Amino acid sequence: MKKACTRYRPRWKRRPEARPNEIASAALDVFAGKGYETATLEEVAKQAGISKGTIYLYYPNKEHLLAACVEKHMTESLEHLDAFFDSWEANITKTTIRQRLIKILNTFMEILGNEKSRKAIKLVLAERQKSKLLREKHKRRVLEVYRKLAEFLRKADEAGAIDCPKPIEMARALLGFIVIFPVAEEMLGVPKGALKSKHTREHLIEFALRGLGL
């Protein structure tokens, strides 16, 4: 009896429309684990359960795949924050804004504290200056977050719920205050996992809210 071919063992059910994301997910794991320069597309293909040639159907080269895997992770992560930015109560008060900001900051900390984000941050820190494509895509996504948070702070300030005369600068300060934790862990080798602690997140959020009069 002829044996079925087992050369490739798909990790996911083959859905052509989902395949680019599946390849990008595999690339994030491989590039972060082995280092972008060292990792090969053959290893990415093996991780995704496809042939190397299939990668080229969606990504023209390794650099495009690098940028795509980081962009995919950031896009999916930021979708969790959109609901907090896009909906507004009819009556904006200090209480409602405080509750909303707690959810926004806590969600952002949870995102940055998970394993996928650590992999993406590791890649960005190592390859951002080398890859113009990665730099452009990463910058675009980061600016989207800054703009959304700044607009949120501007509306809250206009409603008199917070004290924030410079929303753009405050948005950068708030996000930088959070991002420095995983960045420092990766670059300086300090103990990891601070943002995974609910207790730590609560203290950091309270510290940030005091600066906004909340």
Q: Would you list the DSSP string of 15-77?
A: -TTTHHHHHHHHHHHHHHHH-TTT--HHHHHHHHTS-HHHHTTT-SSHHHHHHHHHHHHHHHH
30, two tokens: 């491989």
Identify the pLDDT of residue 18.
67
**Whole-structure pTM over 0.85, yes or no?**
no
> pLDDT of 26-38, one tens digit each?
999 999 999 999 9
- Residue-wise pLDDT for 8-51, tens only, equals 444 444 556 668 899 999 999 999 999 999 999 999 999 999 99
Read off the tokens for 99: 């509750």
Query: Hey, how many other C-beta atoms are within 10 angstroms of the C-beta on 105?
Result: 21
For residue 158, give both structure tokens: 């206009």
Residue 17's pLDDT is 63
Domains located in the chain, CATH noted = 9-59 (1.10.10.60), 70-210 (1.10.357.10)
Least trusted range by pLDDT, from 1-15, 70-84, 145-159: 1-15
Closest CA to 212 of 169, 176, 148: 169
> pLDDT per residue over 200-212, tens digit each?
888 888 888 888 8
Q: Yes or no: say if 200 and 208 are a contact pair by the CB < 8 Å rule.
A: no
Q: How far apart (Å, rounded) are the C-alpha atoms in residues 198 and 195?
A: 7
